[in-house]
Structure 1
């Protein structure tokens, strides 16, 4: 008994050691970027190795004085958050229809929706630009919400649909026997049952929206609607060259919101990533 207990203890220590090492490997690039952001620019660009770097807030002062980082961060949160809400409002009923209703060409329609994700964004960039210009939505957060939602909607529909297919239809039949409508079944039975899948789809859509660059650069023509991705691309230098420490600090700040989001919902996200499989 004592030997078995000792073996389990050693196995647990080994497991924690492996996981801790892997966590450190994953965190090192993030910590490295953060350390560059709090070092003087002269130390960052020097070819000589510096083993004891100097702590400096020069990059932070530069961002606060010359760069409206709070506005860009708010634009990113509004554009990404709004697009995720739009994608879920449209995607959940569409996924329910594709997973539950029997109608002609259902599978063809589902594949067509998914195929829009396979299209190169550059193909529709110019038509989308003229469309939003005719609607008077250029350089607005509303335009970014709509374009992000349009780009990620097909992915959201298929992820949620795969989870809805795993829900037994007997639950819906029992609810219909009690007189529940389809809308009530969707709200009270289907959505709670596939909540991990919905959360997973929302997080993936948010990550894709944050990483979207082409449409953001096309729609956000001025700093009024810049998100962090486009603002960071424009923040590449100053009168005396590239400001590496400020760029590193901005990159870290842009990464923090999605990191906090994943940490807050990691329980639901892990369940959503491990439940079921995508079905055709």
Structure 2
């Protein structure tokens, strides 16, 4: 009984600390939402306002005056499509770099990673002319390909690092049973690397949904605008900066990523110990 009584205060203390930390992490999100639910006249007041007026003015404006649902759809299609392309190319490439022995393997792996260190502005103009010659400008397909090309090296490197931690004895045992390399990759390596694959995919989603330069360059009309470019519509013009609309759109852009992280948090927290050789 004494041990149970001693555990109760410690449990309450842990829950209090975790609750305070969760509230601290949620404050920026709640702050953005609170600005989006306030009238613009109150946001630009020089003096602080302790009892604001709550309104859905910004919410109605972004859905009635701007095709925000269309922008949201473009963002989701472009980002998810780019992630599918990245995974389809990165998984076999990472497996080849992690398992096959060939000349300059490490140099090729570092070169793949080094392409992500290049400033995007360096290749912006060549990519623009390439997409123009292919007739892909101002399309979601162009955004999908550009996002995939930008994140492919990083996704490959992350998945490769996970594959290197998988003991080769597991693959040797599968080859002894007659399994081919393709079957080993699909049936053994991919399930064991699932936490790494999900982590790489989430990073690609975050980078893709936050991309602005290439989206602004490729999307010349509203037919291919994404949420990141749509935010620029509220930062100028005769109406000035529309702070509540900016906050509401930013909140909408953040929510899909938050929902995705919550949905796959168990996979993100799992390590590679499942692939260890035991006994």
**Given the two structures, how large is their TM-score scaled by the length of structure 2?**
0.94
| Partner Cα separation in structure 2 for residue 73 and residue 240 of structure 1 | 23
Q: CA deviation at 1:262?
A: 0.4
Give 4+ residue runs of structure 1 displaced > 4 Å after superposition: 272-276
- Which residues in structure 2 correspond to 1:164-243 (within 5 Å)? 164-237=163-236, 239-243=238-242
Determine if contact 1:137/1:143 at 8 Å carries over to the other structure: yes
The aligned residue for residue 152 of structure 1 is 151
Q: Is 1:251 aligned with 2:250?
A: yes
Q: CA deviation at 1:85?
A: 0.4
8 Å contact kept, 1:91–1:157:
yes
C-alpha contact (below 8 Å) 2:162/2:272 kept by paired residues:
no
Moved more, 24-33 or 77-86: 24-33
Q: Distance in 2 between matches of 1:275 and 1:95?
A: 19
1:79-108 deviation per Cα after TM superposition (whole angstroms, max 9, x unaligned):
000000000000000000000100111011
* 2:82–2:148 Cα contact (<8 Å) kept: yes
Equivalent-residue separation in structure 1 for 2:91 and 2:85 (angstroms): 10
Deviation at residue 134 of structure 1 after TM alignment: 0.7
Question: Matched residue pairs, number?
Answer: 275
Matched, 1:95 2:94: yes
Indicate conservation of the 8 Å contact 1:199/1:272, yes or no. no
Give the TM-score, by structure 1 length. 0.94
> How far does residue 9 in structure 1 lie from its aligned partner after superposition?
2.2
Separation (CA, whole Å) in 1 of partners of 2:200 and 2:26: 25
SS at match of 2:34: helix
Q: Which moved more, 1:173-182 or 1:9-18?
A: 9-18
| 1:271 equivalent in structure 2 | 270
CA distance in 2, matches of 1:151, 1:81: 14
Q: Higher mean Cα deviation, 132-141 or 39-48? A: 39-48
Contact 1:79–1:141 (CA under 8 A) maintained in structure 2 = yes
The two structures, once aligned, show a CA RMSD in angstroms of 1.7
1:121 Cα shift? 0.8
* Structure 2 residue ranges without an equivalent (≥5): none
Tell me, yes or no, if the aligned pair for 2:40 and 2:244 is still in contact at 8 Å.
yes
Partner secondary structure for residue 241 of structure 1: coil
1: CA distance, partners of 2:4 / 2:168 = 46
